[in-house]
Each structure stands twice: as C-alpha cells, then as structure tokens.
Structure 1
Amino acid sequence: MTEELSVQTPAEPAPEMPSFAPRAAGAPALSVRALLESGVHFGHQTKRWNPKMRPYIYGARNGTHIIDLDQTAKLFTRAYDFITEAVARGGNVLFVGTKRQAQDIVREESLRAGMYFVNNRWLGGTLTNFRTIKQGLDRLRALERMAEDGTHEQLPKKEVIKLEKERTRLEKYLGGLKNMGGLPHVMFVVDPSMEKIAVHEARKLNIPVVGITDTNCDPDQVDIVIPGNDDAIRAIKLICSRVADACLEGAERRKDVLAGRGDEGPVESVQAPRAPRGPEPSIYRGRPRGGPGGGGGGGTHR
C-alpha cells in the first residue's frame, strides 16, 4: 500500500545556484534540503510510473509519486565523483537534453564546464556514425570562416543567404559539438526516456550514461541513475549545475596532475573510467525500499 506523505510544495523564488567550489572529502555533492527546495522529489502521476523505478520511490501524495531524496543524494554523489574522475583522467562529457525545459540549461551549464552538448533534436548516428557527423562539423567551421574572412562580400546576395541558412541549420543541431574531436567518455542525460536514441547509441559504444531518471523512466538503460524530477526547471538547473561543477573540479585536478607529471603524455592518452555493465548494476544504484502503489486524487500531476 502506498505511503502517503505530507510534502510541502517548494516555495518561490528558486534558490540561487552556488558558485563552483571543490567538494570537501566525504561531503555530499547535493544535500537533501537543496533537492527538496528545488522540487527534485516530485515524480509523475502514479498511473504513469515504470515499475522498475520502485526501488527509488518513497511513496505517493495526491496521486503523484514521491522520489526518495536520501537515495538521490547518495546516488548523485556517486555520479559527481564518477564524472570528476573521468574528466580528471582526460575524459570529456556530453550533455544531452532536448526537451524545452532543459534546452537553455543544458547549453549554459555545458559551456560553463567547457564540455559539449546536444539541446535540439538528436541526429541519428551522432555517435555511432561520428565520421559523418564530423564532416558536418567541418562544414560548419568552414561556413563560419567564410562569414568572418570577407568571402561573403565577394558572393551574390542569394548565395550568401543560402550559405547562412545552411550555417544556421548546422549550428542548431551540431553547434554544441563543434570542438568535440572524438567520442565523449561520459554522456549526461536529462530524461533518458525522451533521449532513447542517444542513450542507445552510447550503450552500443560502451559510453557510460549518467541520467536524471524520473518515475516514468527505465533505470536499466542508465549506468548511474539519478532519481529525480526531470521536468521542473529548478530541478534540472540544480542537478545540471552540479554536474558542470563536477566537470570543472575534474579539470582542475587534471591541471594539477599534468603540472606534476610534466611532459609524460598528452591528455588523449589517458583513458576515462568505464561504468561496468551486466547483471549487477546495483553498485550504481540504491538499496530497495518498500514498493509504491496508487495514491489519492488531486495534487501535483505531470
């Protein structure tokens, strides 16, 4: 039977995102209080749930599943450490979030972290056919050079308009990958259920996937599950900003390592860690809690 909770709706306005600072050893990457204030605990309507998310659900309130934030905090800390370590070893992270609520946040936070992003429609083969995608990136850079070096001034107006349309389209879909020279070492996804093609390509290439996984998602498709609300802007902002912080912390550690190592080798020679796959994903996932059921009517529905 579902446990009814009395959970207060997050108050407005949203709390300001903290500026980047390295996490103290042993400290959680996100507190339960910060998660609660940003509404990370609100899942979907109980009738829309994926039973595989049962271990991460605390109960229900007014027909809406409530996510267990104790687990979210622990699992996010694990994700934070994993991403930090990957970047510290020379890896890079691809942020993916194409839903309207996530688009601006994914772009802003990935750029702040010095990483890459896809925030519009995922083009099939972005990873599995990266050689072709790279040709598109080369074309985008060429078009940008033409716009900057005065080439447009020597072309007919109709030709310039045509080139600008092509550049705009390439920028929309590939702009976030412009400086990505090869496959990412980690993929961070907002709502894996919406980014199924991206997740499938990453899994096919054995690229670890870290994802904000709501109560309607299939956690088996994600290597490191972050149980949480993947629809609310404040929730997405909080988690994405901390993922960006993990990237920045890893980059700082990378600088320190290279400074101490001298000319020992290029960044590309260092392999980022890989999340294990197989029948025992529990090392990345929280312990089961009691199974949820239906809830009462009314309340917050998504």
Structure 2
Amino acid sequence: MTTSLLLSTERKLTIMANTSDVKSLLDAGVHFGHLTRKWDPNMAPYIYMERNGIHIINLYKTAAKLDEATQALRKIAASGRKVLFVATKKQAKDIVAQYASEANMPYITERWPGGMLTNFVTIRKAVKKMATVDRMKKDGRYETLSKKERLQVDRMRAKLEKNLGSITDMTRMPAALFIVDTVREHIAVKEALKLGIPIFAMADTNSNPRVIDFVIPSNDDASKSIEIIVKAATDSIIAGTEDRKSEKNAEDQLKAKEKEEKEAAKAEAKAQKEEAKKAKATVKDEEE
C-alpha cells in the first residue's frame, strides 16, 4: 500500500485530516485491517479498499476520528475525572501500562475482573484487602502470623496486585473506558454499555463500531499502531490535566486577589472610621 494510493482518497472526504498525521499513521501500519473474511460489515464506512485479501483502513477517517477522540479525552481530564485503559493482549499490555502510568490514569492489562464496573463495590473491597496487608506489615501485625499464614497473605497480596494493582487509586467509577480491541475485551464493553459509560476504542475491521462512542478505526494488533494511538490519547489526557491545573491556578490567583481587595477595603473602611472618630473628638474639644 503506497502513500500516493491513500492520498488519493483526500478528494472524496468531507472532513480533511492533516497529511503529516496521516503519513505518521501510515508509517506505523495503522491502515492494515484483518482478512476480508473476518470483517464486520459495520466497519464498511471506515474501509478504503481490499488488497491481497486484507482490508485497508481509510487513514484520513482514522485521523479525523482520532482528533475527535483526543479532544473529548482532554475535556474529561480537564474535569478531573479518570479514564480507565483496558488492554490485555500481549502486544498492547506494556505499551498501555507505560503511557497510562505517565498520564496518571488507571489501567487493566492482565485479566478483566468480571464485575469490575457492574460490581465496583466488591472490587473496591478487594483493593482494601491489599491496603490492609500493607498496614499489617507496617504496624508489626504481619510478624505475629505463622509462616504458613504469612505465605497465604503474601500470595493473596501478589495475586491482587497483579490483577488490580493499577486501579488502587481509582476510588470512584471511571468517566470513560479506552479499549484496545473491543472484540477481545467484550466483557468490559458489555459492562460499560450497561452502565452508560462512554467507550473510546481502537476498532479494527473485525470490530463492531456501533457499540463504541468514540471509534478510532485502526490496526489493533501491531505494537507500533497501538503505540501511536495510545500515545495520542494519553498526550491529550496529560494536556487536559495541565489545563485543569492552569485553570485552578488562575482561580486561586483570582481568589487571592479578591481576598486582598476585600482586606484592603476593610482596612480603608476602618481607617475612615478612625478618621471620623478623631474628627468628631476634635470638634467636641473645640466646643468645650
């Protein structure tokens, strides 16, 4: 698939994307879909053509949809809410863990724990067990346990850490999910749909885009493709977090200024009151 072949689609699109962005997506192999026999017909609007039995994704539409998704993610981050990243496939795990951590967002890269969203209270209880073990080790209670009991506690802690370690700070439901491969993560998709939680997702040609709120048509199997999309998503989240900090700083400065003005007004009023009192005393002395 040559660059010129993909560039020829530019005239056919109503929403045009930046050519350099499309070139980056092309270099990362984002345009390679699945075998044509494995496609989902609902992905037809995002497919440019078929080549050697493989569907080719229209990268101009990918770029436009990615831009739409990143803007929405930035707004979520600016509001102070969390986006839960989900990717349990081998080629995506490390990439998602790295970028989600940099953006200070929770992520699931091992196994999606059934009821993660629909039974969030139970999941939080499991997370609290981890905290309890940590407290036991700090206050000395851990040392009072027998060798067998310590081994059991350590195994339980390790298992919970592996499955839930990245969501220990997620004290409330996420504002949205970012999923790599909705076909593989169908349980996560089902739970999010049930609770009305927005879904951002990389959708390959075998995916059903109708269940995704912010679909990003892209190759969800190649590590380079996954990295370029996930990085764009987390960069927008980091930008949103910075927006929130800037807004908070501006609000703090405004409050500080208002406080100063209020205190200055009080001081001035007090001074005027004292001046009036002195003037009144002077007049009284003169009268006497």
Q: Which runs of 5+ in 2 are unaligned?
A: 5-15, 255-288
Q: Are the counterparts in 1 of residues 17 and 64 from structure 2 also a CA contact under 8 Å?
A: no
Normalising to structure 2: TM-score of the pair? Answer: 0.80
Q: Are the counterparts in 1 of residues 39 and 205 from structure 2 also a CA contact under 8 Å?
A: yes
How many angstroms does 1:7 deviate by?
Answer: 6.6
1:172 paired to 2:162: yes
AA partner of residue 97 (structure 2): R
Residue 172 of structure 2, aligned match among 182, 189, 195:
182
Task: Give the greater-gyration-radius structure (CA).
Answer: 2
Structure 1 runs, 4 residues or longer, greater than 4 Å off:
5-8, 26-30
Normalising to structure 1: TM-score of the pair? Answer: 0.76
Seen in structure 2, the aligned counterparts of structure 1 residues 6 and 259 have a Cα distance that, compared at 3 Å, is closer
Q: Are the counterparts in 2 of residues 42 and 228 from structure 1 also a CA contact under 8 Å?
A: yes
Residue 92 of structure 2, aligned match among 91, 96, 102:
102
Q: Are the counterparts in 2 of residues 79 and 224 from structure 1 also a CA contact under 8 Å?
A: yes
The percent identity for this pair of structures is 42
How many angstroms does 1:30 deviate by?
Answer: 7.9
Seen in structure 2, the aligned counterparts of structure 1 residues 28 and 222 have a Cα distance that, compared at 3 Å, is same
The corresponding residue for 1:216 is 206
Q: For the residues of structure 2 that align with 1:136 and 1:125, how far apart are their CA atoms? A: 12
Q: Secondary structure at the match of 2:111?
A: coil
Q: For the residues of structure 2 that align with 1:185 and 1:134, how far apart are their CA atoms? A: 17
**What do residues 36-78 of structure 1 show as CA deviations (whole Å, max 9, x unaligned)?**
1111000000110001000000001111111000000010000
Residue 243 of structure 1, aligned match among 228, 233, 255:
233
Q: For the residues of structure 1 that align with 2:79 and 2:224, how far apart are their CA atoms? A: 31
**What do residues 160-208 of structure 1 show as CA deviations (whole Å, max 9, x unaligned)?**
1111110111111111111001000011000011111111111111111
Q: Are the counterparts in 2 of residues 30 and 76 from structure 1 also a CA contact under 8 Å?
A: no
Seen in structure 2, the aligned counterparts of structure 1 residues 105 and 148 have a Cα distance that, compared at 3 Å, is farther
Q: Are the counterparts in 2 of residues 113 and 248 from structure 1 also a CA contact under 8 Å?
A: yes
1:63 paired to 2:27: no
User: Which one has the bigger helix percentage?
Assistant: 2
Q: For the residues of structure 2 that align with 1:88 and 1:183, how far apart are their CA atoms? A: 17
**What do residues 109-156 of structure 1 show as CA deviations (whole Å, max 9, x unaligned)?**
111100000111111110111111110111112223334454433322
**What do residues 226-270 of structure 1 show as CA deviations (whole Å, max 9, x unaligned)?**
000000011111111111111100000000111122399xxxxxx
Q: Secondary structure at the match of 1:262?
A: helix
Residue 132 of structure 1, aligned match among 99, 119, 122:
122
Residue 123 of structure 1, aligned match among 113, 121, 124:
113
Seen in structure 2, the aligned counterparts of structure 1 residues 73 and 250 have a Cα distance that, compared at 3 Å, is same
1:145 paired to 2:135: yes
* Alignment of structure 1 residues 1-302 onto 2, 5 Å: 5-6=1-2, 31-262=21-252
AA partner of residue 75 (structure 1): K
Q: For the residues of structure 2 that align with 1:258 and 1:30, how far apart are their CA atoms? A: 34
Seen in structure 2, the aligned counterparts of structure 1 residues 152 and 27 have a Cα distance that, compared at 3 Å, is farther
Q: Are the counterparts in 1 of residues 3 and 26 from structure 2 also a CA contact under 8 Å?
A: no
Q: For the residues of structure 2 that align with 1:199 and 1:107, how far apart are their CA atoms? A: 19
Q: Are the counterparts in 2 of residues 80 and 246 from structure 1 also a CA contact under 8 Å?
A: yes
Q: Are the counterparts in 2 of residues 29 and 73 from structure 1 also a CA contact under 8 Å?
A: no
Q: Are the counterparts in 2 of residues 101 and 233 from structure 1 also a CA contact under 8 Å?
A: yes
